Structure 1
Amino acid sequence: MDLSLILIIVGIIIIIASFFVGNQSKQLEKDVEELSLNFYQETHQLKRRLKVVEEELLIEPQTFAKQKKKVSPKPNAKVGINGIHQILISQVLTLHKQGYNTDEISNRSALSSDQVKAIIASGGYRL
């Protein structure tokens, strides 16, 4: 009988202890849930910021085509490099050094093919 009495007492102690242990697990669950919500919110904010940055960096092809039409001179007009920004000139020369042809450079720089040829000629390069 002593063994059964000891087992009953141990069982009661374990049941009482389970009430205290349960509170710790509930607090732990609450902390994990709060942490996951914070993580989700921060991830959402980062994605939103990244989307804004991507939108700022994107150049729409339609806008690019409109700018190209505005910049291109009349077909019979004499083409010069006056009025073209130095950054565009260096970009054209760099692309020419990399092996791009005048049509590809024209598409990338929003300049006409005649302007690209004039810039390359003024840079001392052969077409």
Structure 2
Amino acid sequence: METLIILLFSLAIVLLIISFFGKDKVAKLEEDIEQMTLTYMQDIHQLKKKVKILEEEFIIQDDIIPPIKDKSTSNSNDIETIHEILKSQVLSLYSQGLSLEQIARQSSLTKEQTISVIEQQRLRGE
């Protein structure tokens, strides 16, 4: 019985010594996590710098290039600003058979505005 106790006690001492010299897996995991965190922080920092540069370029380009108007919205806005008297004059001249150029010249409108007025009237069906 004494030999068994001595044997178990010596085994415990050997295992205790081995545990001190064994690799600490938790420390290794902590080191890996810390390294990954640093890597991600560096990546995020680089991405923020790139986004800032792109935003600055975008702002500079907005200052250089004037906004482009959509032709369809400008035409509809032009039609709305044309006075009703001019619209009726255009329609009257069109019904008399004058060419679009002549109508535009007499009404002081562009050819596109004249066409828009006529098309708008056709859509209304009057």
TM-score where L is the length of structure 2: 0.44
Structure with greater helix percent: 2
- Structure with more relative contact order (C-alpha pairs < 8 Å, separation 6 or more): 1
* Larger radius of gyration between Structure 1 and Structure 2: 2
TM-score where L is the length of structure 1: 0.44
